[in-house]
Amino acid sequence: MRLKEKKTLTKPGPVHVTDSNFSEVMNKNALALIDCWASWCAPCAYITPIVEELAKEYADRVFVGKLNVDENPRTANQFQVMGIPTLLIMKNGKEVDRIVGVIPKNHIEARLKKHME
């Protein structure tokens, strides 16, 4: 009797990025949305489901990452993240847009779509 090979399905979603892998992640992805957050930040918790939805809906076009600013201060400082949540929209490794605070999902989508080809 032959056993079927078990396939593991992975759900698309945000990927945790760090100081050590940030450059590599940016070099591999033409368009990225990076959610800069912290565990103690209530507005960050509010925007998390929106970021997760965007990661699923745009999985084929946009890399979505989460950067914990407390654990990864070098990258947060590099991009001068002064308030959280901050969403960085990166294209070809360069910041092209920034959203600070909580805004509706459709506004984030509109800003992302401006940078899609």
Condensed to tens digits (0 to 9), the pLDDT of residues 80-109 reads 999 999 999 999 999 999 999 999 999 999
Beta bridge partners of 95: 90
Q: Per the residue annotation, which of 38, 41, 100, 102 is the catalytic one?
A: 41
More confident residue, 35 or 10: 35
Given this model, what pLDDT does residue 86 score?
A: 99
- Residue 41 among the catalytic residues: yes
Q: Per the residue annotation, which of 26, 44, 51, 112 is the catalytic one?
A: 44
* Domain 15-113 falls under CATH 1.10.10.10: no
Domain residue limits, the chain = 15-113
Given this model, what pLDDT does residue 11 score?
A: 54
Whether residue 7 has pLDDT greater than 60 = no
Q: Is the peptide bond between 14 and the residue preceding it cis, with omega within 30 degrees of 0?
A: no
Cite the beta strand spans of 1-117 per DSSP E.
15-17, 31-37, 63-68, 86-91, 94-100
